[in-house]
Structure 1
Amino acid sequence: IIDGISVADPGNINIFPNESFKASVLEIPDDNALYTVRDVPHGKIHYNTYKSDVLGQHRNLIVYTPAEYEANPDKSYPVFYLVSGTTDTEEVWFKVGRANTLLDNLIASGEAEPMIVVMPYGYMNNGTPRPSSPEAAKMYQVFVKELTQSIMPYVESNYRTINNRDSRAIAGFSRGGGQSMFTAFSCPDKFGWLESYSAYLTPEVIDAYFPNIVNDANSLNSLWMCVGTSDFLYNDVVRNKRYFDDKAIKYQAEERGGSHTWMHARYCLANSLRRLFRK
């Protein structure tokens, strides 16, 4: 803290890539942790720039391809869209969530299927309303258009993807979780897997936008929610679960100790990776 202003440690190259703060990242070494780089085949992280006709600008996009991708030019892969949270950039799932390292280790141990992971920037250029507000749904609608009209066509044109609903999954943390739920329910023909980390939709939004929610949600291969019991969004997630219960919507949910942290988000992601695209 310099003259009352918090700054990142200039001697630490590991910086949290966030819109509103640039904190230093400190990892406690743990050779047994899934987020630790191991002596296994490693996938690649690709930095992409695509043109968004929805937002009228060029945007950044990070894509992970598994270690076997280049050695199998005739093979196509399922795609997991992994969305950033409030104030997070497209780099956070990579640099803080360690999505690539988690997947490298899980694929190597046979616990996850080889897949492509697409990490978009979730900010839609018009503020981030509270997830309990009606304005949040308007932002989610823009994200649906951005994903389906700009991001997915780019990804499917530049990577070897399997382009059907059973081979597409979507998940996110915090704002990204709300965007993911809204997207999957808006596009039941495009996504077969939905995972939500510390996020929810209000009953009012679901009733207003998804008249066929029961059939659409129950057609998913998996609908999984996870939240920490100390999370400031915990009560909202519980209310969302009760709504699903009242509507007889099938889902799986996990409540665990923890709050709105990236330790929790990593836990959620690792569990998703073990489950996605498995019969």
Structure 2
Amino acid sequence: MTLASTMPGAEFPRLGSEGLEFRIHAPGAHQVKLQLPGDSLGSGSVPFSPEPDGFWHAVISDPAVGFHYYQVEIDALTTNDPGSRTYSGYGRSVSGVEVPDPLEPFELRDVPHGELRSLWFRSTVTRSWRELWVWTPPGYDDDIDRHYPVLYLQHGSGEDETSWSRQGRAGIIMDNLLADGAARPTLVVMGSGYAAAPPSTPLSAVDSAMIIDGLQQLLADDVIATVDRQYRTITDRTHRALAGLSMGGRQALAIGLRRPDLFGWLGGLSPAIWQRGTTDAVWSVEPTWIEDAVRAAGGVRPQQVFLSAGTLEERFVTAVDELAGSLAAAGIDHKSYLSPGTAHEWTTWRRSLTELAPRLFR
């Protein structure tokens, strides 16, 4: 079975009778390995077996459903698989493979589909041109008098504004939800979460405060105004949501609680609320953080905060539980969701978006 993530004309990667198969042409190589980052397909490496004519073959017998990053190690060289499409992850372009399951909410269905649009703007914060990817629901151009709520959706560490659409299939998820009458027609805006000035600042030098403060300023000064000017939006806080995964989940919760005047709905999907280099949850170390944020915002609270994690990412499950307790203590309405049998991976976040979107703007 040819996969959606396989390059046109390529035979591998594919789903075969033995499982998920990879085939690499590396004549003269002494050793070839499949490098896996962990969490979804596994961790470590899977050896390829040599075949005639310089080809090498590897199989993962029982692959998990969903999207998975990987690379290939040929002797001392780590590279991408020429048979696979590449995606923005880990701060670089890496190979990815999509293992389908028709029962999952992120698979293509024969329903009306929205459109993904590119919007460039000049940022006063980063002093650079930046791109937003904007998903518009089916029929957006048919009724020019209709205005829409907006979900600002942030990616994880090392990813970019393309990630939620490509790896996350956000548009497909929204299409399916709308077709089922489960969600309200909504604009989904996806931009880069790295907003340090100048824009040439390497990711390794961008600290936690810069990630949060920079994006907060970018959203408040540039992004929201640009989207409201270019699209037919409902411009009050109760029709504006901010959510994200991992790093983006931390950004969404921190910024949203600071600026409830901008965002009425928040979502933290596997929110990475640890200090760099530690395993301690920031808000466990500072249990009054949320109460302090509400107090600083004049007592204004979000309409609702959505939290999620995969059951296999244990420290994120702990974080979600602790955050839920802190939100309850601060009198903030919240909902939690755990994705069964998944880890820190795109299936967790795809399912989480499927749970989050129907709760927004109700």
| TM-score bucket of the superposed structures, by smaller chain | 0.7 to 0.9
Change (3 A) 1:84 1:110: same
Change (3 A) 1:266 1:213: farther
- TM-score (normalizing by structure 1): 0.88
The aligned counterpart of 2:324 is: 241
- 1:111 Cα deviation (Å)? 0.9
Alignment check: 8 A CA contact 2:309 2:339 kept:
yes
The aligned counterpart of 2:108 is: 37
- TM-score (normalizing by structure 2): 0.69
How many Å separate the matches in 2 of 1:211 and 1:43? 36
| CA deviation profile, 1:193-248 (whole Å, cap 9, x unmatched) | 1111011553338269625179757x322111011233264234433333334444
Answering whether residue 154 of structure 2 is matched by residue 72 of structure 1, we say: no
More strand by proportion, 1 or 2?
2
SS of equivalent to 1:6:
strand
Gaps (5+ residues) in structure 1? Answer: none
Equivalent residue in structure 2 for 1:151, among 223, 227, 231: 223
Answering whether residue 305 of structure 2 is matched by residue 223 of structure 1, we say: yes
Alignment check: 8 A CA contact 2:105 2:351 kept:
no
Over the aligned positions, Cα root-mean-square deviation in angstroms equals 2.6
Q: Please tell me whether Structure 1 or Structure 2 has the larger radius of gyration of its CA atoms.
A: 2
SS of equivalent to 2:152:
strand
Gaps (5+ residues) in structure 2? Answer: 1-72, 274-281
The aligned counterpart of 2:267 is: 195
- 1:5 Cα deviation (Å)? 2.8
How many Å separate the matches in 2 of 1:260 and 1:194? 20
The structure with higher relative contact order (CA 8 Å, sep 6+) is: 1
The aligned counterpart of 1:175 is: 247
The aligned counterpart of 1:118 is: 189
Answering whether residue 224 of structure 2 is matched by residue 140 of structure 1, we say: no
How many Å separate the matches in 2 of 1:28 and 1:40? 21
Answering whether residue 348 of structure 2 is matched by residue 264 of structure 1, we say: yes
> Alignment identity in percent?
31
- 1:253 Cα deviation (Å)? 1.6
Alignment check: 8 A CA contact 1:214 1:249 kept:
no
SS of equivalent to 1:212:
helix
Change (3 A) 1:254 1:139: same
* Count of residues in Structure 1 that have an aligned counterpart in Structure 2: 273
Alignment check: 8 A CA contact 1:61 1:118 kept:
yes
Alignment check: 8 A CA contact 2:149 2:239 kept:
yes
Alignment check: 8 A CA contact 1:199 1:233 kept:
no
| CA deviation profile, 1:97-149 (whole Å, cap 9, x unmatched) | 0000010111111111111000010113456689xxxx524431221110111
How many Å separate the matches in 2 of 1:43 and 1:151? 21
How many Å separate the matches in 1 of 2:299 and 2:204? 26
Change (3 A) 1:128 1:259: farther
Alignment check: 8 A CA contact 1:84 1:122 kept:
yes
How many Å separate the matches in 2 of 1:157 and 1:97? 27
Alignment check: 8 A CA contact 2:339 2:351 kept:
no
Q: Which amino acid aligns with 1:102?
A: I
- 1:21 Cα deviation (Å)? 3.8
